[in-house]
Amino acid sequence: MFEINSIPVFISVVEQGSFSKAAEVLGFSNSGVSKRISALEAQLGVKLLYRSTRKLSLTEAGERYYQHAQRAFEAAKEAESAATGLQQEAQGVLRISAPMSFSRSHIAPIIPKFLKAYPKISIQLELSDTWSDVISEGYDLALRAGDLPDSSLVAKPLAPLHSVICAAPNYLEEFGSPKEPADLVQHNCLLYSYHSTSNEWFFNRNDEDVRVEVKGNYQVNNSDALKEALLTGLGVGRLPSFIAGEEIKKGNLIPLLTGYQMPYKNLVALYPQRQYLAKKVSVFLSFLEEQFDQSLPYWDDWKRSPS
């Protein structure tokens, strides 16, 4: 094996002009320094130093080796500085993969605030609802919701993502409000077609599970499009509360069956490792935690009891 650890010892011996001074600077014993130099010469198959009781000098091979070793050692120190600098200061390019609908409403709007706080960071944000391989595709982290596949990635919970049954006031004025889940079968229920159980809605109250098979005249694979249809008064729908929340606060959508719980997912941040996490990643994770309340995120403010 190449004696790379002997290079700084060799350089120190040359610069100090003696084995004993080099040993003192490096915190080695004299014999330890001598063994490193001997091992290096044996590895290279050449004599690097002329040693006598009074004088230490370089051979011709030693002169050449010293010149190249010195440049290599300086390059190694620069590489170390560049790598550790990412740990000590928030800087560099931060590549993020995130889901489309959630990120358009709740990630993209806060990116400028983050970049103003950390001007040495650049962000590359990829919005997609398909799963990305964080490591092979070179992402620093990914935001995802739902059941996560088994992996070696670290998963940090950020916020709960609840669903809400809702409809526009004009629809409810015409067709009435469902009082319990079973009443939904009498309503035009608009469906999110990408959901694995798009026409089966599940509820729970007092530890009792309720399943309702619903139907309607409109299916769409985008929650924002589903929201727009609900706002026109077309029917009743199940929306993520991070999409419906603002319209509920404005009174444009009315939450229904609020005495029941529905299955929910967690928004999590996925990243490759916990040890030696780059500063740019750790500050972004902290920033997201400041924006989202894990108990009641801001898009669910409508759930708060009036004071």
- The DSSP-derived string for 34-100 is HHHHHHHHHHHTS--EEE-SS-EEE-HHHHHHHHHHHHHHHHHHHHHHHHHHHHHS--EEEEEEE-H
Q: According to the model, what pLDDT value does residue 73 have?
A: 72
Strand partners, 36: none
Residue where the block lists tokens 């894990």: 294
Per-position DSSP letters for 163-216, written without gaps between them: EEEEE-HHHHHHH---SSGGGGGGS-EEEETTSTTTTEEEEEETTEEEEEE---
Strand partners, 237: 166, 190
Contact between residue 12 and residue 73 where contact means Cβ atoms under 8 Å apart? no
CB contact set of 281 (below 8 Å; sequence gap of 6+): 94, 140, 141, 271
Q: According to the model, what pLDDT value does residue 203 have?
A: 95
Q: According to the model, what pLDDT value does residue 201 have?
A: 95
State the helix-helix crossing angle for 7-16 and 19-26, rounded to 10 degrees. 120
What 3-state class would DSSP assign to 31?
A: helix
Report the alpha-carbon distance of residue 35 to residue 38 in Å, rounded.
5
* DSSP summary character for residue 300: G
Report the alpha-carbon distance of residue 10 to residue 188 in Å, rounded.
82
Radius of gyration (Cα) for the chain, nearest Å? Answer: 32
Query: Can you say how many angstroms the Cα of residue 131 is from the centroid of all Cα atoms in its chain?
Result: 13
Contact between residue 34 and residue 7 where contact means Cβ atoms under 8 Å apart? no
Q: What is the mean pLDDT of each run of 10 residues along the chain (307 residues)?
A: 68 83 82 85 85 78 84 68 62 91 94 95 90 76 78 85 96 96 96 80 93 95 94 97 96 96 91 79 94 90 75
Helices and strands, counts by H and E, the chain = 10, 14
Q: According to the model, what pLDDT value does residue 1 have?
A: 42
Report the alpha-carbon distance of residue 164 to residue 239 in Å, rounded.
5
Residue 118 token pair: 């950390």
Which domains are assigned to the chain? 4-88 (1.10.10.10), 92-160+265-302 (3.40.190.10), 163-256 (3.40.190.10)
Report the alpha-carbon distance of residue 209 to residue 244 in Å, rounded.
24
**Strands 254-256 and 236-240, sheet pairing:** unpaired
pTM of the model: 0.69
Report the alpha-carbon distance of residue 61 to residue 69 in Å, rounded.
12
What Cα–Cα distance (Å) separates residue 23 from each residue in 16, 31, 274? 9, 9, 37
Q: According to the model, what pLDDT value does residue 78 have?
A: 60
The pLDDT tens digits for 171-213 are: 999 999 999 999 999 999 999 987 667 789 999 999 899 999 9
Contact between residue 113 and residue 143 where contact means Cβ atoms under 8 Å apart? no
Query: Can you say how many angstroms the Cα of residue 143 is from the centroid of all Cα atoms in its chain?
Result: 6
